[in-house]
Amino acid sequence: MCGIIGYIGEKKASPILINGLLCLEYRGYDSAGIATLEKDGITVKKDKGRVKNLYNLEGIDSLEGTVGIAHTRWATHGKPSMENAHPHLDNSSTFAVVHNGIIENYSELRDFLTEKGYHFLSQTDTEVIPNLIHYYFSQDSKKDDDQLLRAVKSTCDDLKGSYAIEVISPLFPDRIIVVRKDSPLVIGTCKKENHIASDIPAVLAFTKNFYLLNDQEYAVVYKNRIRFFDASLVEHTKAINNIEWDAAAAEKDGFEDYMLKEIYEQPNAIRETIGSRFRLGEKCSFDDINLTKEYLSSLDKIYFVACGTAMHAGLIAKNVVEKLCRIPCEVEVASEFRYRDPIIDEKTLCIFISQSGETADTIAALKLAKQKGCKTLTITNVIGSSITREADYTIYTHAGPEIAVASTKAYTSQIVLLIILAMHFAEILNSYPEEKIEKLKADILDIPSKIETILDNVDEIKAFAKKVYTQKDMFFLGRGMDYAVSMEGSLKLKEISYIHSEAYAAGELKHGPIALIENGVTVIGVITDPKLVEKSISNMQEIITRGAYTLVVTNQVLPNVHFNSVINIPETDPLLSSLLSIVPLQCLSYYISKNKGLDVDKPRNLAKSVTVE
C-alpha cells in the first residue's frame, strides 16, 4: 500500500519524481523519498511525513540526474521515520531500491544476510532487497550487460510475499530494472523517456501509452527502449495499451478536494458506465462475457466477494439479482471468504468487485474460487489491473481516475453496472417481466440528472454537518437496501471524519443497540422503500423518544413525525434508490470532515489501493 515512481530520460528526474509522488500520495503518505543517479553515484533524499516535505530538503534542487526512482510510504514494517523511508540502499551504496508490498520472509532473509556480514539501518522488510541484490551480484562470475538483471531475479526467487520493485545502480546508469508480483506496476512510454508508476494517473500527463506488467515479469527500462523478460528471464515482446483517460480527470479542476470533485463527477461517471450497455427497447449488451441461459439456470448460488465499499455495492447487487433473477446470492468479505473453505463449485458464479483491481484479499479469493471450479467475473475500474488477468470475465466501470482515498464515484458506478448486469441475466432467464425491465432502464437513464438535483441542493446537508461535527458517536439506520446504504454512509463517516459510527438494520435496534441511544446522540435514517416506511418510522420514533438528534434521507411521504432535519431526494424505483440516497451521506461525511479541519482526501492510516493483507 505504497506508491512508487521511476523516470529515465533526458530531463532532470527529481521534479518529475516528486510530482509523480504527489499524484500517488493517496496510496501512502507517512514518509517519502527519491534516489537519483548523479555524477558521483546514488543520491538519496527522504523524510518522514508528506511528499511536500521533500521540497524543503537540503540539496534537493541541485540534483541533476536524469534517472531516478521514488516512493511514498504507508508503513507496514517499522514506524514512519527517515530511516524507514524508501529508497533503501545496500551496504555499499551501489544499489537503490523502492518497493511496494510486503516481504513475508524478511526475517529469515535478514538473518541470512547478517551471517554474511551485512548490517541494517532500518526496521523495514524492504532493506533486505538491495542487500540481497548486492550479494547475488557479487556472486555472479559472468560479468556482462545482464548481470544486474540476474541479481534482481535471484533476489526475487528468495522473496515470499508481494512486491513491485524498482532498482537503479551507477554500475548500469542507462537503465532501471523493474519487476512485480501481486502489486501493481505500469510503464508509460513516450519519445526519449519512460515512466514507471504504481498507478496510471501518476504519469498520464506524459503519455497514454502503457505496458502493463504481469506477475513475475521483469523489465529493463532504458530511455529509448524496454526489454521484457518472463520469470525464467526468457526475453519476449509485449503489446502496448492505449489508456483513454483524460489527464485533467486526475486533477482537482477547481474543487477544493478530490473527494468533493469526485462526488460531483458521479452523474457523468454513471452516464459513462451505462455507455453502450443498453438502449430503451433493446436487450442489455454484454458481449464481453458469455454466460448462457443453460449456465445461469444451472446456478445454485451467486457470490459477491469484495472488501469495504465494494462489498457494500455487493449488498445492493444481492438484493437486485435476487429480485430480478430469483437466484440465491451471498455477499462475503474477501478476507473471510478466502480462509473459511467456502462451499462453492461449478454451480457457483463468483463475482469479485474491486475499484483498483489490485485488492490483495479479493485477488486471493478469486484464485481460490477458480481452484474450486467456479466461473469468475470481476468488476473493476482499471484496465489491465491484476484482477482482470485472473478472472474468466471482466466488465469495467467507467468512473475515470478516483484519487480520494474514500470511494464515491467508483462505488455508484459499481452499483449501476451490477444492476445492469442483473437486468441482463433476467433477460436471458426470462425471470422478470419485460415491461418492468424496460421501466427500470428508463429510470436508470434518469439517475444522473437526479443526482445533479441533489448536488444542486446541499445547503441543508451543510447546516446539519455544522451542528453535529463535534459528536463522538453516530448511528445509521435502514431496512433492506437502505440498510446497505446506511453501512456505506457509516463507513464514509468513519473514514474521513474519525467519528465512531455504526449502521444497524432498523429492526435490530431494540435487540441491543437502543441501549446506546441517549439525549443528543445523532441518528441518521434512510427511508426509500414504500413497503417499509411504517416500520422504519416506528424505529425512528423509538430513538426520538430517547432524545436522539435525527436526520432522515427519504423520497417517501412520511407521517408527521418531528425529525430535526429531512433531506428529500427524487423518487425512483426502489431498486435504484441506493444510487440517490448515498449522495447526501457522502456529502454529509465530507462537510463534517471539513468542519473538523481534517485532510479529506488522505485520511489517517488509510490508503487507496490495499495491495497487502
In CATH, what number is assigned to the domain containing residue 520?
Answer: 3.40.50.10490
Question: In the predicted model, what is the mean pLDDT of residues 429-446?
Answer: 95
> If you search the block for the grid coordinates 461517471, which residue do you land on?
269
418, 438, 454: which is the final residue of a domain? 454
CA distance 514 to 91: 60
Mean pLDDT for the stretch of residues 137-153: 94
For the chain, give the percent of residues with pLDDT over 70: 95
* Same domain for 406 and 478: no
Report the percent of the chain where pLDDT is more than 90: 63
Residue with cell 541479481: 151
Indicate the residue type of 579.
L
Per-state percent for the chain, helix, strand, coil, to nearest 5: 40, 20, 40
Of the candidates 521, 576, 568, the one whose C-alpha atom is nearest the C-alpha of residue 544 is 521
Last residue of a domain, which of 421, 436, 454? 454
Does the pLDDT value for residue 249 go beyond 60? Answer: no
pLDDT at 562: 84
Confidence band for 402, pLDDT divided at 50, 70 and 90: confident
**Lowest mean per-residue pLDDT among 371-380, 423-432, 557-566:** 557-566
CA dist., res. 198 & res. 135, Å (int): 27
**Boundary-marking domain end, from 231, 250, 269:** 250
Q: pLDDT by residue (tens digit) across 13-69?
A: 999 998 888 877 766 667 888 999 999 999 999 888 778 888 878 888 889 999 999
Report which residue type is found at 487.
M
For residues 282-303, average pLDDT: 92
Statement to judge: residues 272 and 306 lie in one domain = yes
Establish if 473 belongs to a structural domain.
Answer: yes
**pTM reported for the whole predicted model:** 0.72
Same domain, 477 and 443: no
The reply to whether 115 and 25 lie within a common domain is yes
Average pLDDT over every residue of 317-321 = 97
Q: What is the CATH number of the domain that holds 154?
A: 3.60.20.10
User: Residue 417: helix, strand or coil by DSSP?
Assistant: helix
Instruction: Write out pLDDT tens, residues 165-194.
Output: 999 999 999 999 999 987 888 999 998 999
Q: How confident is the model at residue 74 (pLDDT cuts 50, 70, 90)?
A: low
Nearest of 528, 514, 512 to residue 582 by alpha carbon? 528
Query: Taking 80 as the threshold, does the pLDDT of residue 520 lie above it?
Result: yes
Q: How confident is the model at residue 102 (pLDDT cuts 50, 70, 90)?
A: confident
Considering the domain architecture, whether residues 71 and 93 belong to the same structural domain is answered as: yes
Give 547's DSSP letter. Answer: T
Confidence of residue 610 (pLDDT cuts 50, 70, 90): low
Within 34-105, residue ranges assigned H as helices are: none
Q: Report CA torsion sign: 602, 605, 606, 607.
A: positive
Q: What's the rounded Cα separation, in Å, for the pair 120 and 109?
A: 12
Same domain for 555 and 434, yes or no, is no
pLDDT at residue number 585:
97
**244 plus 263 within the same structural domain:** no
Residue 409 has pLDDT above 70, yes or no: yes
Residue 602 placed within a domain: no
Mean pLDDT of 77-85: 74
pLDDT in tens, 234-245: 999 999 988 766
pLDDT for position 222 = 97
- On whether both 142 and 237 belong to a single domain, the answer is yes
Is 611 a residue whose pLDDT tops 50?
no
Q: How many domains does the chain have?
A: 3
Q: How many Å apart are CA 258 and CA 496, to the nearest integer?
A: 13
> What residues make up the domain containing 381?
258-454
Distance of alpha carbon 186 from alpha carbon 170, whole angstroms:
23
Q: Which residues are part of the catalytic machinery?
A: 2, 608
> CA 528 to CA 209: how far, in whole Å?
45
441 and 301 housed in the same domain: yes
User: Does residue 613 belong to any structural domain of this protein?
Assistant: no
* Cα–Cα distance list, 259 to 133, 255, 495, 558 (Å): 41, 9, 12, 32
CB 191 within 8 A of CB 183: no
